[in-house]
């Protein structure tokens, strides 16, 4: 055990977060997402919601301050203007926890899949709420 590191973050996930560089992306996805078939590295957090994962990860991961949208969610298929409750929670967590709070952007479903495919890693959670998917771009820690 280590102090001040959320216990839901696995050793493999901690390694990935540390190994990522500025501009690398991390996808946190729900239980329905095709993570195994898309990921370069698939890390599992079974039994953990996407919102719990986001909150824990943002305590360690700086968001990119050079990108106006360093956090992206998936649009609702057929209704891009709809904002699912889980996405409202994502925004509240970013506002509360992130070192660089930012407004969420959104990508069409297949554009989200493509972006996740190129992410450094995909974290598959046990999230059952639909559209519980978010991509984070890693920033820097200022000297």
Phi, psi at residue 89, to the nearest 5°?
-65, -40
Phi, psi of 11 (to 5 degrees): -55, -40
Q: Which of 91, 80, 20 is nearest to 54 (CA)?
A: 91
Distance CA 63, CA 141 (A): 9
Compute the Cα dihedral for 138, 139, 141, 143 and give only its sign: positive
CA pair distance 91, 69, nearest whole angstrom: 12
Among candidate residues 30, 46, 64, 67, the one labeled active-site is 64
**Choice among 15, 30, 100, 113 that is catalytic:** 113
- Indicate if 120 belongs to the active site: no
Task: Fill in the DSSP letter of residue 9.
Answer: S
- 22 carries an active-site annotation: yes
**Is 113 designated active site?**
yes
**Which residues have a catalytic role annotated?**
22, 64, 113
């Amino acid at each position: 055990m280590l102090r001040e590191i959320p216990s839901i973050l696995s050793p493999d996930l901690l390694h990935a977060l540390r190994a990522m560089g500025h501009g690398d992306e991390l996808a946190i996805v729900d239980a329905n997402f095709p993570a195994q078939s898309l990921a370069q590295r698939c890390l599992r957090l079974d039994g953990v919601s996407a919102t719990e994962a986001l909150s824990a990860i943002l305590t360690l991961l700086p968001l990119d301050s050079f990108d106006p949208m360093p956090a992206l969610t998936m649009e609702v298929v057929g209704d891009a203007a709809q904002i699912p409750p889980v996405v409202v929670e994502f925004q509240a967590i970013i506002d509360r926890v992130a070192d660089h709070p930012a407004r969420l952007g959104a990508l069409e479903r297949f554009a989200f899949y493509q972006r996740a495919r190129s992410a450094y890693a995909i974290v598959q959670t046990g999230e059952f709420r639909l559209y519980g998917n978010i991509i984070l771009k890693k920033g820097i820690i200022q000297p």
